[in-house]
Structures are given as C-alpha cells and as structure tokens.
Amino acid sequence: MKNFNLAIAILITALATITLSSSIHSMEAELSPALSTPKAENVLRVMSYNIRRKGKEAQEERLWEHRLPLVKELIERIKPDIIGLQEATKEQIADLKGELPQYSSFGEGRGESWWGWGTDEHTPIFYDTEQLDALDHGTFFINERESWRPWDARTTGWLPRICTWGKFKDKRTGKEFYLYNTHLDHMYKQAQLAGLERIKEKMPKDTHAPVILMGDFNTEFTDEIQDVLAGFRHTKDLATQTVGPQETRTGWDNEELKTIDHILVTDHDKITVEQYEVIEKEEGEPYPSDHRPVIADILLRDN
C-alpha cells in the first residue's frame, strides 16, 4: 500500500511539473515581442494609439489620472520612434510631454464640436528627437466645418475631424518619410470615406518619400476604403510577422471588440514591414485605454 501511495505521489508531482512547464512555455510564446525584445537596427517603429480623451468615466480606475502612468509605462516599454495619438486633449498632451522628455510633439486641436459637445481633441504626433528630425508639419480639417448643416451629417460627420501630418528624416539612415495621423467619423461610412479622400488630396503628389497613414478609422479596413486609398496597403497584410489579437478596440474589458485602428503604407519597394502587432494588456492589469496600441516595425529601403 505504501508503494502504491508513493507511486501516486510521484505521478501527481510529474503531472504538476509537466503542467507548470507547459504553462511557462505558453506564457513565453504569448509574450509581446514589442514589449520583450528590442527592435532590429535601423527599423522605424511606428505606433497608433487612441488614448481615450480625458473626462468623466463610469469607473474610477478609468480616469486619466490613473491611466497616465500606464500609458507612460507602455510607451517606455515599446519604445516607438514615432506615435500618432487620437482623442488627446491639451491636458493629456502636456502630461505625456512631461513624462516622456525624449519625445517632441505637434498638432493643433479640432476646436469644439458644432453642437458644443466634447472637448478640444487633437491628433498629435509624438516623435523621438534622438532618432528623427521633423522637417515640416501641419494640421488640417478633413470635413468642412464652416458650411456644415445637420442634414449634411452623413457626408460630413457630426463632429469636426482633423488630420495631423509631418515630414521626417531618420537620423540613423538619412531616409525621409511622411506620416499622417487622423480620427475618422464615428457614425457614417460616407463621412469616413470623404475624410480619407480629403487626406489623400492633401498628400504630396510627386514625392519619392514613403507615406504612412495611421489612426482610428472607426471602421474596419474595407474594400471601399482600399479603393479610396489606392496605392496604400495595410501593414498587417505586408508584415513578415503578425502578433497579438485582431481587434484594436476593447470598449473596456473586451466589451466592444472591433478592428478599427490601422497603420497603412504606400505600396512600393521602399518599405518592408518586418512586424505588425496589436498590444494586448497583461493579465490582471487595468486597461490604459478603451483601445489597444497598434505597432508596425518598418524598414525604409532604397529603390
């Protein structure tokens, strides 16, 4: 009987060891490359992130003052060279600039909405000044604010919408590129497509520099969007490696899973996308935002 009990004990211990080992290997396999390993040399790491505007929240932990340290830590761990934020207010931009001194930023606000709803949100671009030089930049409206009427909402949207852009030079390689960051209408497909058409109209026509377009599109990357943005490809489709969940919006606690945040690049031989990743929050950690960060590691190459 003693030998039988000993055999059972040995079997239980062995099974526990196998289970623990399997769990450890599973955790290692699921660990985010962007959070766990440095990016390759001369690779441009770009990040799109809707950080959720500062304002009233249903739960205390979702207030910006509690989320700021989480967003800061996330950016410090990912180490993007350039970031396009959405829904950022002046206060949030100031907070992040104070917490992330290696980054500079630019981008004008959209002003108040037509009905006085919401806050003065921005689509700012943050860039690591040790890696990049900003050669030119600006912000423009992607819908016509002055001529807006309620019955035009399907084509213009309910809120003023903007796009912030910059032309950059990578100090490591000398390569130049453009980046456009936007936040499209949240209700109407026609307004979203019209906004993208306006952005494309504003892009340089004769540039030899690659163009990156990112943001919260409030819609999936549909065939209609692909038609409007002819010449652009989704970094997920071009990436050598794809990591993380598909959905980019969680709505807090995975309540509203949607794939609406995107990073696109011009489709020519000056760009290689080495990795695309949607960053999942770590187990047991609170959500820094109701969206997930989207990362693309891009190699700017010669012809």
Identify whether residues 116 and 25 lie together within a single domain: no
Identify whether residues 45 and 190 lie together within a single domain: yes
Identify whether residues 263 and 160 lie together within a single domain: yes
**Res 126: pLDDT:** 98
The total number of structural domains in the chain stands at 2
> How is residue 79 written in tokens?
């180490």
Helix ranges, 124-188 (H): 153-156
> How is residue 87 written in tokens?
């829904």
Spell out, as residue ranges, where the chain has pLDDT lower than 50: 2, 4, 6-29
Using one digit for the tens of pLDDT, what is the confidence trace for 11-61? 444 444 334 333 333 333 355 777 767 788 899 999 999 999 999 999 999
Identify whether residues 230 and 253 lie together within a single domain: yes
Identify whether residues 116 and 239 lie together within a single domain: yes
CA distance 127 to 46: 9
Identify whether residues 89 and 227 lie together within a single domain: yes
CA distance 294 to 9: 47
Long-range CB contacts for residues 257-261, cutoff 8 Å, separation at least 24: 258/220, 259/220, 259/221, 260/216, 260/217, 260/218, 260/219, 260/220, 261/48, 261/49, 261/50, 261/214, 261/215, 261/216, 261/217, 261/291, 261/292, 261/294
Identify whether residues 131 and 187 lie together within a single domain: yes
Phi-psi region of 109 (alpha: psi -120 to 50; beta: other; left: phi over 0): beta
Q: Would 36 be classed as within a structural domain?
A: no
CA 37 vs. chain centroid, Å, equals 19
Identify whether residues 18 and 71 lie together within a single domain: no
User: Are residues 183 and 215 in contact, defined by beta-carbon separation less than 8 angstroms?
Assistant: yes
Q: Would 156 be classed as within a structural domain?
A: yes
Identify whether residues 5 and 152 lie together within a single domain: no
CA distance 68 to 231: 37
**Res 28: pLDDT:** 35
Identify whether residues 143 and 230 lie together within a single domain: yes
Using one digit for the tens of pLDDT, what is the confidence trace for 143-157? 876 666 666 777 878
CATH classification of the domain holding 83: 3.60.10.10
**Res 3: pLDDT:** 53
**Res 224: pLDDT:** 97
Identify whether residues 12 and 97 lie together within a single domain: no
Q: List Cα–Cα distances, 5 to 1, 8, 10, 22, 155, in angstroms.
A: 6, 5, 9, 26, 75
**Res 154: pLDDT:** 79
Q: List Cα–Cα distances, 231 to 77, 176, 227, 228, in angstroms.
A: 32, 18, 9, 9
**Res 146: pLDDT:** 64
Q: Which of 216, 178, 190 is nearest to 88 (CA)?
A: 216
CA 119 vs. chain centroid, Å, equals 21
Q: Would 276 be classed as within a structural domain?
A: yes
Q: Would 35 be classed as within a structural domain?
A: no
Identify whether residues 20 and 57 lie together within a single domain: no
Q: Would 241 be classed as within a structural domain?
A: yes
**Res 65: pLDDT:** 97
CA distance 47 to 216: 12
End-to-end CA distance of the chain: 76
CA distance 106 to 110: 13
Q: Would 242 be classed as within a structural domain?
A: yes
**Res 115: pLDDT:** 59
Residue-number span of the structural domain to which 186 is assigned = 41-300
Instruction: Count each helix (H run) and each strand (E run) in the chain, helices first.
Output: 8, 13
